[in-house]
Structures are given as structure tokens and as C-alpha cells.
Structure 1
């Protein structure tokens, strides 16, 4: 991937193991290619929860959660598929029709709103966070981190990642 193909933002792997949270940066290239983001997350070994938080270009976020049974994912704004390959790939994986140009004014999530329900964030609360369209993706993801209990680790890592 060249610099001109780089997508601004951040990609973070979040792990909960033995009651402790750990956040690590994923390669920048994970923002451009969904398959690469999934591959990088599958490399993270843990007996506990593992998921990825991707904030893309101050426009939208993705939550990816690989498991032996497959992959759960959430795209905070389906209309982002009009402008970002990673969002289009996510909708394709979800088997959801991409939006049309007429839909680009609307913001709606696609995917598993219950993706983090087992670690303290019910689908209804995640829906509320996704619906906060006046917030940037990093702010929305920080709200998620706060609700799940890893806000300090998440903030410390984001402070070290150039965005």
C-alpha cells in the first residue's frame, strides 16, 4: 500500500484476559483493507474477548470481532460505503446492499449491534452511541470504551498513534 492509498484514522485491537484490558495498535493498512484488519485481529491470541475498533477518516467506525464461529462486525454508517472501500467490503461481508447516492445524507448502522453485549454494552446502548452523529468516531469509540471499562487503556494508546 502506498502513501496515497493510506486512509487516515486508527485501528486498535482490544483484548480482555484474566479480568484485565489491553489495547494495541494494528497496522495502518488495516484501515484500507477489511481482510487485512480481520487477519491482524485473528493473529491476536487470547483466552478472553478480542475485538477491533477502527476509526476511519473522522467519518465512521467499525467494530470487528472474530471468533471460531466466524466474524461479527458493525459499521457505524452504511453510507460510508459510497466513499470507503473498507465500508463497502464490510457491507458485502454482511450481505447488505450498498446505499445509493440518494442515501448519502442518511446515517445508519449495519451489522451486529449486540457485538459487545457480553462485555457490558447492550445493543440498545450501542444504538444510542452510533446515533450520536454530531460526535467524531474516536469520541463514539471512547464512549464504547468507557462503557465497557477500558477507556484509560484506549485513551493512552490513541495518544501514541498518529492520526
Structure 2
């Protein structure tokens, strides 16, 4: 899928500041271009934790967490890199070879401990990613629930999807 084809889904910027969670929507361009997503997150001023959640075409999700030294990334399905530029860009940034066409397994690539300091240990995130019967928005809702911002997340997603 080229960058110019429209991609559906949603992007959410999540901020935890002064013990409170805040979710805001990211532009649709962030779903097809990793640089756009990273740039959009870096523009958000926060003294607390900041990360992004992208649901791309209801096929896979990306978690991104900018830091002064770069960006931590988690791609829920490495095979998505065969069809989506943003997934290929994630693997490229992680310096991971994309899977070949014969690989039909589903596996995550990146930092499973990306949200460990926010209440979601890597083992629990692995369990959520491994729930192949769930759509990415449901997996992201589980992540929001485990970290403690499911109400804010669900309210934003409901607004975005109307």
C-alpha cells in the first residue's frame, strides 16, 4: 500500500501529567507516515509521560514513545510491513529485516517494555499482542485499561469514529 492511498483507523496521543491522563487525536496522515506521527508527538508539550497509539486499517497497531535520544516503537504485527509503508518504516527504524512473503505467522517487533513504567509490564503487553482474535482497537482499549486511561481513550475513539 503506497503512502498516497488513504488509510483508515485512528491515532491517539496520550499524555500523563500530574497524575491525570489526557488523550487527543492525531491527524490521519500519522497512520501512513511514521515521521508524521513522531513529529506530531514531539510537538506536544508535556512534563509527564507521552506516547502515541496508532490503529492502522484495523489490521495492526503501532505504539510510539518519543524520548530525547530517539523513539521507542512497538509494531503489533511485523508481517504488516509487507503491505504498509508505516509498518516497513517501523522495522527500518528498528533495524529489523522485514519478513518474507512466506511468513504467515503474527509476531510483534520492537520494545514490549515500552509502557512498563506506566503499569503495563512487557509480559502483559505480549499477552495483549498475542490475542489474535481481537481487532487492534480492542487491543489498544485493553492497553488503555491496564494503564488506567480507558475512559479517556474510549471517549476519544467514539468521537473520532462518528
- Structure 1 vs Structure 2 CA RMSD: 0.9
Q: What's the counterpart of residue 54 of structure 2?
A: 54
Q: What's the counterpart of residue 159 of structure 1?
A: 158
What TM-score does the superposition give when structure 1 sets the normalisation length? Answer: 0.96
Distance 2:21 2:161 in 1: 22
1:162, CA displacement in angstroms? 3.0
Report matched runs for 1:65-84 at 5 Å. 65-84=65-84
Q: What's the counterpart of residue 123 of structure 1?
A: 122
Aligned length in residues: 159
Give the 3-state SS of the residue equivalent to 2:143 in structure 1: helix
Structure 2 residue runs without a partner (length 5+): none
1:129, CA displacement in angstroms? 0.2
Give the 3-state SS of the residue equivalent to 1:7 in structure 2: coil
Q: What's the counterpart of residue 147 of structure 2?
A: 148
Distance 2:82 2:5 in 1: 16
1:70, CA displacement in angstroms? 1.3
1:5, CA displacement in angstroms? 2.0
1:30, CA displacement in angstroms? 0.4
Structure 1 residue runs without a partner (length 5+): none
Distance 2:6 2:46 in 1: 29
Give the 3-state SS of the residue equivalent to 1:72 in structure 2: strand
**Following superposition, which runs of at least 4 residues in structure 1 exceed 2 angstroms of deviation?**
none
Provide Cα deviations, 1:65-89, integer angstroms capped at 9, x if missing partner.
0011210000000000000000000
What TM-score does the superposition give when structure 2 sets the normalisation length? Answer: 0.96
Report matched runs for 1:86-105 at 5 Å. 86-103=86-103, 105=104
1:6, CA displacement in angstroms? 1.5
